[in-house]
Chain A
Amino acid sequence: EPEVTQTPSHQVTQMGQEVILRCVPISNHLYFYWYRQILGQKVEFLVSFYNNEISEKSEIFDDQFSVERPDGSNFTLKIRSTKLEDSAMYFCASSVGTGGSTVDTFGSGTRLTVV
């Protein structure tokens, strides 16, 4: 069964450093998403991406964050100048479309720890 692959599974970084979280969506999917989940809290939408541009973003997704699809397979989330409160699980997801009954497939996540 096709999977969304995320690397690394765990990233530890010092406060103020930049990190890049990587995702390989399912090959025939067109829509890509990043979510985050702070420990013990709800999953939060960050951004959706389609046709090489951001289609929707949340209030969380400020200038500190950026996304990119540098080639035909990878989808990355860059976090600049990381803060302690950026520590969370970051999930990438992809889907064929956005209509009802379109299933989003999630990766296993990257646990980001900012120290």
Chain B
Amino acid sequence: GESVGLHLPTLSVQEGDNSIINCAYSNSASDYFIWYKQESGKGPQFIIDIRSNMDKRQGQRVTVLLNKTVKHLSLQIAATQPGDSAVYFCAENGNAGNNRKLIWGLGTSLAVNP
């Protein structure tokens, strides 16, 4: 069946270091992938997305890499700050058509140590 999973459930980094959060997916037909950030007590917040015809996309301090060969997605956060502490989810669009149906990974908890 379709699934999206996280390699590391928890990640602890020092402030200022770079963070890398990994995600594996199994549905090779997925055409769109998203990273969300969820802070305690809040709903998921969009960080960055990437289409399947790309292998890299950069945002402000964040980069998403997509390796379709091994069905792997990663989120890189540069110069991690305490405000980056949250749970990070990857999600894939499980529908190739117009109806969005996001399939989510379990989440990685990122803890930034000052």
Contacts from A to B (Cβ < 8 Å): 4, 31, 33, 35, 41-45, 48, 50, 55-56, 58, 91, 93, 95, 98-109
Contact = CB atoms under 8 A, between A and B. Distances in A.
B99 A56 contact: yes
A48 B43 contact: no
Interface of B: 31-32, 34, 36, 41-46, 49, 51, 89, 91, 94-95, 98-107
Nearest to A101: B49
A42 B44 CA distance: 12
B46 A48 contact: no
Contacts, number: 63
A41 B106 contact: yes
B105 A42 contact: yes
Contacts of B36: 106
Given A100-B31, A105-B46, A48 B89 contact: no
Contacts of A109: 42-43
A14 B28 CA distance: 42
Given A48-B100, A101-B49, A56 B44 contact: no
A28 B91 CA distance: 24
Given A104-B46, A106-B45, A42 B106 contact: yes
Contacts of B91: 43
Nearest to B53: A100
A108 B107 contact: no
Contacts of A108: 41-43
B103 A45 contact: yes
Contacts of A41: 106
Contacts of A56: 95, 99-101
B100 A91 contact: no
28 contacts: A31-B100, A33-B100, A35-B102, A42-B104, A42-B105, A42-B107, A43-B91, A43-B102, A43-B104, A44-B104, A48-B101, A55-B99, A91-B44, A93-B43, A99-B98, A100-B49, A100-B51, A101-B49, A101-B51, A102-B100, A104-B34, A104-B46, A104-B102, A105-B46, A106-B43, A106-B44, A107-B43, A108-B41
